[in-house]
Structure 1
């Protein structure tokens, strides 16, 4: 139940004890705003609601101790912490009758500035900058008269809204979360997940800063000056908030500050902290590639089952490097060859069977976090972690996952819109957190003019949003910028051959210890993280090849260069640089992360795929591990700086003026190969592509109709829309005789005819319109896939392929890449394999078919029998088993099992809301004019 959206907590707590505690911490309430004043307008070509955006749950991500206590006792929340969640959720049903006028019910007006009658507060942390917040959302509109003042204001506002979360992320990046936030298993998991991707020393961080200054000239110097001003703004706020006792209450709950004496401190930020945060963000959302060791294991399993030649053919048909049936962003036939399979592979380094073992990461564990035991809490009940917050620490387990960050984009060129101007509905899907990983802001100052979102802690520029007469956004791409090398060991397990010499690996380690605190009920403990670094990256596995010991390493092109992308973001915010689609594409070419970028102004829609794509040696197969010798290194590879030759601007997928563009992390263009399995005939990008294509054919596209297409796709089951018709066709090849199965099939047919929605019957009903069919599909899918493929592939190969690509990722899944309640669904699964295989059974046309037909070994009758048997199993499975209880939902609660839960990164939680497969920050834009 949603309560008290947008209200600042001022009520008294219900008990005498709580009242006393609140009195002790009354000084922690936020200070009153200064007298309001309107900003002077800036050039804006998208006023009047034609540019809109939304960011649930809300802008304000900080809460004082008093506000956290009141939230836990009374359920109140700080102002602007949850005031965008209701409008975001309402689009589930509001999209049905959506018009351009009604868009304002579900999105914020993203015009520049704040009208005088909408000013909530004005803060002037320096004479050269003003931070104005609006009444409706509390978004900071930062206007500086100097460049330094503008960036200082950005840092100050970021600390106002996200200080605690920024502190968490700098510690995650440095592998030091448990000493900071406690010994919870979730906290340890985050360290173990992120630090090995970028296990930097302080010297490594400093080297990135020096590289930017030395390599990018005046732009690089300006970027570092902007970053320093941003840090100065953060630190000024820390000092004022600490002295004024209105800092985030989590510092008290984790024992960093004493609530009564105010003793303790908040460590100031420095430039290298921003690099640490950037390494987390880049690893989470902008990486690409890896997984070559597991790919090698599945290839070897295929070769053992079928022989080398046929096994390789079978494996390639599942790898689907350039499937002709895959949905593409650039769909006009233009090809951009990259990471293709060589005709005669050279240097491939497959391990000996049974020799691979993952590298050990954790050592010397002590304390309760290792045993699961907990020390008793010695705090009042209302100080215990809130429901939904991990009860051993600050973070919810599984709250961050390296395969999250799925985003989407829908753009239509002006030739097909009602206005004659391009329309875009786009945004990043960064997961659902409390507070959000992103924060909204407007920046106006010398050389900067933009409004949008930035990742908290690296927000010196708007990273996705709009400029004066253009807007842009991104989706995570999947092209391969990470390779696996097999380095031959010499002397012992910590020495390896590099260019003919036996050299030592570099040992990097973190020794983390923790003690109990108010928010951490574990006893004290410690453990050590250890990785070995080579000239070819971080060691991930050990194995033998031809009996000789090797270490497999992971080498990412953006390793040691996460911060380089700051130049691209600087350009995006500069109105003197970005003036059209072409200059936009040049700007994002400076971003090394693997992203798909989209652009719209009043004249053009455009696309560009960014990333530091290494130029590989001729004959190297990027899908598999490579021998670590000079002939197989990246061209011009310099291990001292981790730099190489990269593919030029012209080799990157790009387009301007195509009839429409869609992206949901699908393949970009023909012959542009992804780094993962699963980019075949069925992909969630199809949910967008089919809908937008229909709109374009009809013509007269509006902001409302394009938003409706996105919203409808966001509550549609991909399996039901794209694969269920073929499943039903197989089942209907003969009459059904079992009444139970007849009923089940009829329920599935009715759901399919309705469009396969996962949507309430009415707002707040918490009951789907086709609950039995949805339950059947959720229960049936993993059973039918196993029955379809496991007998033909054999247990070993089936399991090896599943390790490279999970079978299912429904919204209700408590497993797989996104886990439960994460929103993002249907990115990873065997829908394309199943689709091709069933069409082969039905003797329907298939381009790039699987090497064999698996369902029933190609016999339609046997296939039908296998599907019916698994459907009977699914029909017999009760809802309590299909949807098991978790910390949020009771067993059997279908709606809740799908529902979005904003995972807490601090002391404030938010209501559970209806599932939507939708960006977490989203823009709807249509520029009527241009400079």
Structure 2
């Protein structure tokens, strides 16, 4: 059965034909807004990148579509201009990287020079007399030039409205937890509000307090930041009003019932400063958080202790926890240590739950209607697709509602490769780096250039919080980030109590705080929805409820030593979602960032957990940002801790959620190292991993091995570093890093079974060819070694279970698997971005398998597992287990390995891996080749630097 990919999510076929027949009148299309100005040259003279800065952001800059454009897309397959013109070049690098040269860079990336040459100007508008927005013909990126600071920021907001008005509206509602009343009751919409709102269930007073905190405590920069943010909001609102009056607003407003297509009656609600905080809470919570998960961590520790006894069980658990595995890949690899969040020598204050007592806190109440179909597959055709997907039969309440406790909070995916100038052909550092924010239509980020008083930058910003460029280039430097994931979130066990002094129930809503029995604060969101043209689900409603304490939000309830407790989650950036605006302001200020050290100081002002990378013509550098709390002595950050004052963060003030944070020097940082890589791996020696999965084999090895080889050879170029990234992007981590040990075990004795011999030969041929998941030729949709890829996809989960489950037992194996997914291969729907999400191999058992097999083979292992599991340590028994599972895998048909979904028929291997942009509106895009690569990516080499003032 042939299935089309890239089908629209928001407009049903019946609705489209009804609209086309005139039941709803299509709106007139407008190509520009505001008073037009004649095209004028916008190129910036003396651009110090001299044509050696490039970038790419698929699918395209334009993320808005009128109703007429949505209908034309639905019926005719057309797309608005600049909505998809970066996708094919992004996709084509898969087939073209091997022949890439510096001269061919423009075939795969945009020119990221400042300004627009006169012959490349597509349009120029001036929404105010003090700002012009120039768009180039090739990409439609807005180049915003302001004569005043206010005009510059107003122009940024106006351009954001032009390119992302509908998406910004979605995300402010996601942050506020009321997406379903706005966009409909589809499962994915409910999943989004259930995923994000409980992390930051703010009241309007909470939003205003955060705004005032920045304005009053950050001095002149804080005051300026809030003025910039207001100007940005003013620009968005100006476009909002003009597009509504001119009837060229996004067509989704008609399809969701907010505006009448005939009378134009209805409203696009004004944006406010507090909307920026709501959007920032979504962005920061998704990509800049770190830590948490201590309850599940404690459950796996208890399972290990039940299996082996307290002492041996703890040793086994620590070996799987891998806080500081000596074999893991590091970003700072020169031996400099940055001790943080390690295992204490004399742990105290831990609050482990009693066996069987943990229950997740219920989020959803009072459900009515029939909007939800059980099972995560029901989200396949919903209008708004969730960034995370759940594995079948996991993470669902009995009524089919998404359980937010089961959503994986860890998000990484971004990567960076930098080489210092002493190893490059041109003598200047080279960087290939970018964030991976998932594949959406339109993209979560948007490109822009900002030139105005105190601002000079080009790059990307998350739509809705784009008053500054968040990752990109400045006058003579470039910067980017990857999610760092260090431990900034802790779980506290608050003792429950009753105001009358009686014994509290497990569901009590009072708790002890510093000796007093105080009430929890109930945070509620009541959401109702109705059927609309865009959403065929029935009308319904439900209520979300979160209990808030001074130690954060309640996530679970349990007993500890027989006493009822509530487990709460507290992160340092809670109530401080927008504080990082100061750091971004500095990064955009050419008078502040003049070298690597000033860059590091700017990055230090960013409270979220990110790895920041920098390159100018002289230096490559790195800094790890984040509000890392200073914990009480001997508190173990990997486990829940008692909510008592002696175990709180140092200087903890619950009213504002502030504490003492580790100083600049204690954050991993480096200037001038021979090279840097990051793919969400550990940062440096002593900097303990915040979760499971940072062991001997990590996705970062795919970059580290290649970049180290380039540096050893010398003469690195932009093209050669990009080729290293692109090759790693299509390489199967298991094939490159694990197959050697697996094959060594299998070949330890002669193979006599013809079927197994053939299977092993196919795997060996694939390994010798590079273990890639790559087409035979561009557009063939067939991998060069399809049988070997299918074997590995089928074999891996079977071999892991056969290797570890007999020794660990069912309970402990399941507990460890709950901490760390066994496999995140490209076609796995449970990975960091779900099926068709591009990113893969972030979390998995590759490090466990590697160490265990080397132990079986008698090879050297640093930081070994506490026990040897495969075959109970016997090579022959291990080999038998691997062969038995390989035979099972070989017998599985393509349809069984790739069962098919809403996008792909069963057995379609290439399609199962393919990247498909999740529609956040009415425009969709065709599937493209899988690659494990940043969404936005820069390739930069500055040949010169500003002269000293």
Which TM-score band applies after superposition, normalised by the shorter structure?
A: over 0.9
Tell me the residue number matched to 1:550: 565
- Distance change (3 Å), C-alpha of 1:511 and 1:23: closer
Tell me the residue number matched to 1:863: 878
1:786 aligned onto 2:801: yes
For residues 484-522 of structure 1, what are the alpha-carbon distances to aligned partners after superposition, in whole Å with 9 as ceiling and x for unaligned? 000000014100000000000000000000111110111
Contact 2:49 2:476 in 1 (8 A): no
Question: Given the alignment, which residue of 339, 342, 345 partners 1:340?
Answer: 342
Tell me the residue number matched to 1:418: 425
Contact 1:284 1:405 in 2 (8 A): no
Contact 1:303 1:310 in 2 (8 A): yes
Q: What is the rounded CA distance, in whole Å, between the counterparts of 2:48 and 2:545 in structure 1?
A: 52
- Distance change (3 Å), C-alpha of 1:81 and 1:40: closer
Q: What is the rounded CA distance, in whole Å, between the counterparts of 1:923 and 1:681 in structure 2?
A: 29
For residues 117-142 of structure 1, what are the alpha-carbon distances to aligned partners after superposition, in whole Å with 9 as ceiling and x for unaligned? 00000111000000000000000000
Give the aligned CA root-mean-square deviation in angstroms: 2.0
* Cα drift, residue 478 of structure 1: 1.4
For residues 690-743 of structure 1, what are the alpha-carbon distances to aligned partners after superposition, in whole Å with 9 as ceiling and x for unaligned? 000000000000000000000000000000000011000000000000000000
- Distance change (3 Å), C-alpha of 1:782 and 1:271: same
Unaligned ranges ≥5, structure 2: 7-13, 390-406, 499-503
Q: What is the rounded CA distance, in whole Å, between the counterparts of 1:300 and 1:405 in structure 2?
A: 28
Q: What is the rounded CA distance, in whole Å, between the counterparts of 1:737 and 1:690 in structure 2?
A: 35
- Distance change (3 Å), C-alpha of 1:667 and 1:130: same
For residues 889-919 of structure 1, what are the alpha-carbon distances to aligned partners after superposition, in whole Å with 9 as ceiling and x for unaligned? 1100000000000000000000000000000
- Distance change (3 Å), C-alpha of 1:731 and 1:151: same
Q: Secondary structure at the match of 1:723?
A: helix
Aligned residues: 910
For residues 734-768 of structure 1, what are the alpha-carbon distances to aligned partners after superposition, in whole Å with 9 as ceiling and x for unaligned? 00000000000000000011110000010000000
Contact 2:33 2:242 in 1 (8 A): no
Contact 2:90 2:108 in 1 (8 A): yes
1:439 aligned onto 2:446: yes
Question: Given the alignment, which residue of 570, 581, 603 partners 2:618?
Answer: 603
Tell me the residue number matched to 2:705: 690
Contact 2:174 2:282 in 1 (8 A): yes
1:210 aligned onto 2:212: yes
Q: Secondary structure at the match of 2:324?
A: coil
* Cα drift, residue 48 of structure 1: 4.2
Q: What is the rounded CA distance, in whole Å, between the counterparts of 2:114 and 2:760 in structure 1?
A: 53
For residues 197-237 of structure 1, what are the alpha-carbon distances to aligned partners after superposition, in whole Å with 9 as ceiling and x for unaligned? 00000000000001111210110000000000000000000
1:644 aligned onto 2:629: no
* Cα drift, residue 368 of structure 1: 1.4
Contact 1:28 1:64 in 2 (8 A): yes
Question: Given the alignment, which residue of 887, 901, 912 partners 1:886?
Answer: 901
Contact 2:191 2:386 in 1 (8 A): no
* Cα drift, residue 369 of structure 1: 1.4
Q: What is the rounded CA distance, in whole Å, between the counterparts of 2:216 and 2:84 in structure 1?
A: 43
Tell me the residue number matched to 2:396: none
For residues 619-653 of structure 1, what are the alpha-carbon distances to aligned partners after superposition, in whole Å with 9 as ceiling and x for unaligned? 10000000000000000000011000000000000
Contact 2:610 2:626 in 1 (8 A): yes
For residues 409-435 of structure 1, what are the alpha-carbon distances to aligned partners after superposition, in whole Å with 9 as ceiling and x for unaligned? 000000000000000000000000000
Q: What is the rounded CA distance, in whole Å, between the counterparts of 2:541 and 2:15 in structure 1?
A: 39
* Cα drift, residue 36 of structure 1: 4.2
- Distance change (3 Å), C-alpha of 1:23 and 1:866: closer
- Distance change (3 Å), C-alpha of 1:117 and 1:845: same
- Distance change (3 Å), C-alpha of 1:44 and 1:518: farther
1:775 aligned onto 2:777: no
Q: What is the rounded CA distance, in whole Å, between the counterparts of 1:417 and 1:559 in structure 2?
A: 42
For residues 373-407 of structure 1, what are the alpha-carbon distances to aligned partners after superposition, in whole Å with 9 as ceiling and x for unaligned? 9xxxxxxxxxxxxx999545444684797433410
Q: What is the rounded CA distance, in whole Å, between the counterparts of 1:204 and 1:651 in structure 2?
A: 31
- Counting only pairs closer than 5 Å after superposition, residues 249-268 of structure 1 correspond to structure 2 as 249-268=251-270
- Counting only pairs closer than 5 Å after superposition, residues 213-362 of structure 1 correspond to structure 2 as 213-362=215-364
* Cα drift, residue 817 of structure 1: 3.4
Q: What is the rounded CA distance, in whole Å, between the counterparts of 2:863 and 2:46 in structure 1?
A: 49
Contact 1:396 1:905 in 2 (8 A): no
Question: Given the alignment, which residue of 496, 502, 506 partners 1:489?
Answer: 496
Tell me the residue number matched to 1:9: none
Q: Secondary structure at the match of 1:541?
A: strand
* Cα drift, residue 41 of structure 1: 4.0
* Cα drift, residue 322 of structure 1: 0.5
Alignment TM-score, normalising by the size of structure 1: 0.96
* Cα drift, residue 29 of structure 1: 3.9
Tell me the residue number matched to 1:517: 532
Q: What is the rounded CA distance, in whole Å, between the counterparts of 1:44 and 1:533 in structure 2?
A: 54
Contact 1:404 1:824 in 2 (8 A): no
Contact 1:289 1:675 in 2 (8 A): yes
1:24 aligned onto 2:31: no
* Cα drift, residue 612 of structure 1: 0.1
Tell me the residue number matched to 1:93: 95
Unaligned ranges ≥5, structure 1: 6-12, 374-386
For residues 225-277 of structure 1, what are the alpha-carbon distances to aligned partners after superposition, in whole Å with 9 as ceiling and x for unaligned? 00000000000000000000000000000000011110101000000000000
Tell me the residue number matched to 1:846: 861
Tell me the residue number matched to 1:899: 914
Tell me the residue number matched to 1:37: 39
1:796 aligned onto 2:811: yes
Q: What is the rounded CA distance, in whole Å, between the counterparts of 2:862 and 2:772 in structure 1?
A: 28
Question: Given the alignment, which residue of 406, 409, 414 partners 1:407?
Answer: 414
Contact 1:36 1:119 in 2 (8 A): no
Tell me the residue number matched to 2:543: 528
